[in-house]
Every structure is written in structure tokens, then in C-alpha cells.
Structure 1
């Protein structure tokens, strides 16, 4: 970013809004927005409590299970849709519907089907993440050059070798892009699922802090979630860039 001919680091925008937050909080103009410094101190104290650690373990477990299922199912379905025209025609419209649908409205239905527990949260994470993984995997598979496939067949490559050494590797940058987007959507899914269930994990803590107007811990918990989502996305994006560099011209 360049302002008046000077190069300004991208972090400057974040620092600017942090300063604005601190000023607004110190002014006392909004009761629901405490000073950022107080929120940070509350966050440091929060992560040392047993309640936060137990909630974090529950949340991470639900997130990890949902994402593993979403990645396995999403890449498998994306490969099938990318390679088999009949499956693409049959399922394509449903995948696009679920990508654009307000999935939050389905959580009460999931609660009826799976109960008021962790299973509902895992399914919510899965539904939030899987569809974008399917679409990006499908796009990557469909853009694999036909010359690579023909070359592998001309050398007598078996079907497992064709998929494992040619098709999946050539489509890997797009698959990783879908996983990165799916991870971000999965964080949203685990928070929404736990908020609506409101008896486990971070949902329980959000409910407790909002009910007691404990805004310092409420915002601290929110910042922790944002930081986790940004960290996971940055790690996958870094891997994605390395794969793109080595993939070169596919």
C-alpha cells in the first residue's frame, strides 16, 4: 500500500484500527466496547483458566473432526465430479445450492437429528466447509491438461498411478485453496454450532459472558477465535504458495 509516494506496511491498517478501538474504549462512549488494552489483559488471564482450556479442547476436537471429514469427503466428491460428467451433472446443482445457502438455519434441524451435543457441532463444521472444498477440487481436476493424462496412459500408467501421480498433483494448488477457504468457513461453523447449542465449548463461554455483560472476556474470546482463523489460513496459504511454485506450468 502506497500513500503520497510512501510505502506503508499492511500492518499499519491493523495498528490504526487498534488505536481507534483503544481511544473509543477509553472514552467510555460505548459500554459494549471496552479499551483494547483491557481486552488483551483479559485474554491473557482467560487462557490460563481451566474453563477456557476445557472449552478450547472441546472446540478444537469438534473443529478437527468436522474438517477431516470435510476434506476427505470434499476432495473425493470433487475428484468424481471433475472426472465423471454424469456425477457432475447430478450433484453440481446441489453443491452450488449448499455453497450459497444460509447454513446457519440448518443448525436447529441438526439439533433435532443429532441432539444437543458435540455431534451437532461436528456436522455443522462439515456442512460449512465441505462444499467449497468440493468446488475448488472439481475446478482443479477439470483444469488438469489433457496432455498429461494422455502421456500417463501412453506409458501404461495404472488408474491409481494416474490419479495419485498425475491428476491429484496437478490439481493440488486448487485443492489446497479449497481447503484453506474450507478451514475459515469451518471456524465459522464451529462457533455458530456451539453458539446455538450453547452448552459446550466456546458457545457456552460466549453465552456466559454476554449474559453477564462481561465484555472484556467476550471480546478477548472473539479475538482469540479471529487469531486462530487467521493463523490456520496463513499456514495453508503458505503451503499453497509453495505448491504453486513447484507446480509451475501444469
Structure 2
């Protein structure tokens, strides 16, 4: 960003909002917003507590299981929908419906089906992440240039070689983009699931801090979650950039 001919780094926006947060907190205008320095100090104390470490273990386990299943189901289903018209007709309506549906409303139903435990959170993560992964994998496969496939056939490539060396590699940027967005949605799913269950993981901590009005730790936990989501997204985005040349023909 350039202002009056001076190039301003993107980090300046973050510094500006941090300064505004600190000023509002110091002026005690809203009791729900403590000074940012107090939040950061509370964050350093929080990560040393056994309750945070235990909640993090539970949260990471539920998130990892849900995302693993979402990727294992979403990518193959999206590829099949992009290549097989019948499968696309069967699942297309349902995928689009679940992408646009308010999935938070399904969590109480999942609680009835799976109980107040990690299984409900794990399934919530799966439902939040899988549909966007399916759609992006489908879009990537459908955008593979037919000229590349025809060229492979003209050189005598087998169907398996065309599928693995042309179709999948050409669709890889979109597949990774879907996984990146799915990771972010998965973080949202694990937090929403635990908050509604309110007895495990970060949901239990959020409930504890909000009831006791411990806003320093509440915001510290929120910032930690935001930072984790951003790092996951950045890691996948970095990998995306390394394989962008596969999409050069498009």
C-alpha cells in the first residue's frame, strides 16, 4: 500500500489496530475489552497452565481427525464429480446445499446422535471442511484443458497415466486451495463444536472465562486460535505457490 508516495507495509495495519485496542483498553471505555498488553501477558501465562495444554491436546486431536477424514473423502469425491457426470448429478445438489447451509444448527443434532464428547466435535469439523474441499477439487478437475488430455492420448498414454500425470497435477492448485479453505473452516468447526458442547477442549475454557469475566484470558485464547488458523493457511498457501506451474497452461 502506498500513501502520499510512501510505501507502507501491510504490517502497519496490524500495528495500528493494536494501538487502537490498547488505547480503548486503557481508557476503560468498554469493560469487555482490556488493554492489549494485559491480554498478551495473560496469553503467556495461559499457555503454561495445565488446563490450556489439556484443552489444546483435545482440540488438536479432534481437528486432526476431522480434517484427515474431510480430505480423504472430499478430494476423491470432488475428483469423481469432476470426471463422472452421473456422480456429479447425484452429489452436486447435496454438496452445494451443505456449503450454503448454516452447519452450526446441526451441532445439537450431532450431540443427540454422538453424545457430549469428542466424537461430536470431530464430526463437526468434518462437516465444516469437507464440502468446500469437494467443490474446489471438482472445479480443478473440470478446468483441466482437454487439449492436454488429447495430447496424452495421441502419445499413447494410458488412462491411469492421463489421470495421475495430467488431470490430478493440473487440478492440484485448486485442490490445495480447497484444502486451505477447508482448514480454516475446520478451525471454525472445532471451536463451534466445543463451545456448543461446552464440556471439553477450548469450549470449556471459553465458557469458564466468559462466566467469570476473565476477559484477558478470553481474548488471549481467541488470539491464539486466530494465529493458529492463519499459520495453517499460510503453510498450505506456501505449498500452493511451489506447485503453481502445474496450472500454467490455464
Aligned to 1:217: 217
Compute the displacement of 1:153 (Å): 2.9
Aligned-residue Cα RMSD (Å) equals 1.1
**How many residues are matched?**
250
Aligned to 2:48: 48
Displacement of 1:247 after TM fit?
A: 4.1
Aligned pairs (5 A) from 1:163-242: 163-242=163-242
| Unaligned residue ranges in structure 1 (runs of 5+) | none
Deviation at 1:176, TM superposition (A): 0.4
Distance 2:24 2:193 in 1: 31
What does residue 104 of structure 1 align with?
104
Superposed CA offset, 1:72-123 (max 9, x none): 1110110011001111122111111111110000000011111111011011
Q: Is residue 172–residue 246 contact of structure 2 (8 Å, CA) maintained in 1?
A: no
Q: Give the Cα separation in 2 of the matches to 1:151 and 1:117.
A: 52
Q: TM-score, normalised by structure 2?
A: 0.97
Cα distance in 2 for residues equivalent to 1:155 and 1:194: 54
1:26 partnered with 2:26: yes
Query: Which region of structure 1 is more displaced relative to structure 2, 20-29 or 157-166?
Result: 157-166
Query: 148-157 or 237-246: which moved more?
Result: 148-157
* CA–CA distance in structure 1, aligned partners of residues 136 and 238 of structure 2: 17
CA distance in 2, matches of 1:89, 1:133: 17
The separation in 1 between residues aligned to 2:73 and 2:158, in whole angstroms, is 23
Q: Describe the superposition over 1:216-240 as per-residue Cα deviations: whole angstroms up to 9, x where unpaired.
A: 1000000000000000001111111
TM-score between the two structures when normalised by the length of structure 1:
0.97
Does the aligned pair in 1 maintain the 2:95–2:131 contact within 8 Å?
A: yes
Q: Can you give the 5+ residue segments of structure 2 that lack an aligned partner in the other structure?
A: none
Q: Distance in 1 between matches of 2:28 and 2:194?
A: 31
Question: CA separation in 2, counterparts of 1:203 and 1:228?
Answer: 16
Match of 1:75 in 2: 75
Alpha-carbon distance between aligned partners in 1 of 2:161 and 2:139, rounded to the nearest angstrom: 21
Q: 1:245 to 1:147 in 2, by over 3 A?
A: closer
Conserved 8 A contact 2:198-2:207:
yes
Quick check: 1:158 aligned with 2:158? yes
1:117: which partner in 2? 117
Is the 2:67–2:126 contact (alpha carbons within 8 Å) kept by the matching residues of 1? Answer: yes
After superposition, the C-alpha distances for 1:23-43 in whole angstroms (9 at most, x for unaligned) are 000111111100000000000
How far apart are 1:248 and its partner, in Å? 2.2
| Matching of residue 59 in structure 1 with residue 59 in structure 2 | yes
Structure 2 Cα separation of the partners of residues 236 and 243 of structure 1? 11
